Amino acid sequence: MSDGERRKVGERGQVTIPKDLRDRFGIKGGDDVVIHEEAGKLVIERPVSREVLAEGYRQRAQQTRDLADEFEGVSSEANEHLGDAPEW
């Protein structure tokens, strides 16, 4: 069990997120949050915006291109030094 602050659930199922946690995670009144179950626990988190998600995909695509370029260079270098592979 965590050391978190104890809160009462209102009749409509509402719970107030402690101010220090709202401040730490940048959650303000009117913001959206995502609530889901994870490993038998309730998790409240900020949703990932489309812009943040798109930027993550762009970074991943660039990493993939960079890696492919690196492999191409290594493969060409290996061919120059090793020549064709012998047939068994």
**Sign of the four-CA dihedral 63, 69, 72, 73:** negative
- Domain contains 88: no
Are 14 and 31 members of one domain? yes
- Global pTM? 0.52
The total of structural domains in the chain comes to 2
Query: pLDDT tens digit string along 30-40?
Result: 999 999 999 99
The range of the structural domain enclosing residue 56 comes to 48-81
- Domain contains 59: yes
Q: Apex CA 35: angle with CA 30 and CA 41, to 5°?
A: 145
Query: pLDDT tens digit string along 1-49?
Result: 457 789 999 999 999 999 999 999 999 999 999 999 999 999 999 888 8
Are 57 and 39 members of one domain? no
Token digits of residue 34: 């995502």
Are 55 and 74 members of one domain? yes
- Domain contains 74: yes
φ, ψ for residue 38, nearest 5 deg = -145, 115
Q: Which pLDDT belongs to residue 60?
A: 95
